Amino acid sequence: MSAEETLQQIASEVSACTQCSLHTTRNKSVPGEGPANAEIMLIGEGPGHNENEQGRPFVGAAGNFLNELLAQAGLKREDVWIGNVVKCRPPGNRDPLPEELSACDKHLERQMAALNPKIIITLGRFSMAKFVPGAKISQVHGQMRKVNGRFVIPMFHPAAALHQPQLKTTILADFGKLPDLLDVARRELGQPGPAVVVPKEELPKDDPKQLKLF
């Protein structure tokens, strides 16, 4: 079975999943979307109101800012795969519960295996905790590290900038490092690919320690 077929099968299973209580309040599940050959996988926390209505991830105000962030890295939404740690909206946009995270994790693990991305970007603390438990996002954001053989970059959730406008510049700068970090990941994995075309003068000055692999 191809990666695309596997992802389609997982999406079908997610749409019918009843493994946790979130299925009783959802309108539509949100399995995630993007090309099966995406080099970058973005993992958020959970669907919100708009996502629950449309069945697609990051389609509200945070999604609009995510599109802006991707453009900062010379990317388009259709270049990356986007999903969440939970596939159904927690009522009232509350934090996902441990049993909900556990129920959805098997879907996410299969999606990661099918995609085999060069970089996983976690958006927010719940997705970060899956890979870097106990870390503080204020201390590790924008820094790439290797976790269980995968390159992971914790990032602030785009919605954070909507509530704390002072974070917007920081988040834009973190995403601006992606072209260089993707080249690092390609070299480390021995899988060279086409460089993302972003004029160097448009990239923020990189702090060498932010490019360090931990």
Token pair listed for 89? 């909206």
Task: Give a three-class secondary structure readout of 77-94.
Answer: HHHCEEEECCCCCCHHHC
Q: How far apart are the first and last CA of the chain?
A: 34
Neighbouring-strand partners of residue 151: 119, 146
pTM (two decimals): 0.88
> What is the C-alpha to C-alpha distance for residues 23 and 40, in angstroms, rounded to an integer?
28
What are the φ and ψ backbone dihedral angles of 74, each rounded to 5 degrees?
A: 75, 25
Residue 115 φ then ψ, to 5°: -75, -40
The full set of domain ranges for the chain reads: 3-189
- Strand 150-155 relative to strand 145-147, pairing: antiparallel
pLDDT at 99: 97
pLDDT mean for each 10 residues of the chain (214 residues): 96 96 96 98 96 96 95 96 98 94 97 98 96 95 95 97 93 96 94 46 38 38
CA distance 73 to 87: 26
pLDDT score at 190:
83
**SS3 of 32, please?**
coil
Residue with tokens 């000055």: 205
Q: What is the pLDDT of residue 193?
A: 53
For residue 205, the model assigns a pLDDT of 41
Q: Could you tell me which CATH number the domain at 3-189 has?
A: 3.40.470.10
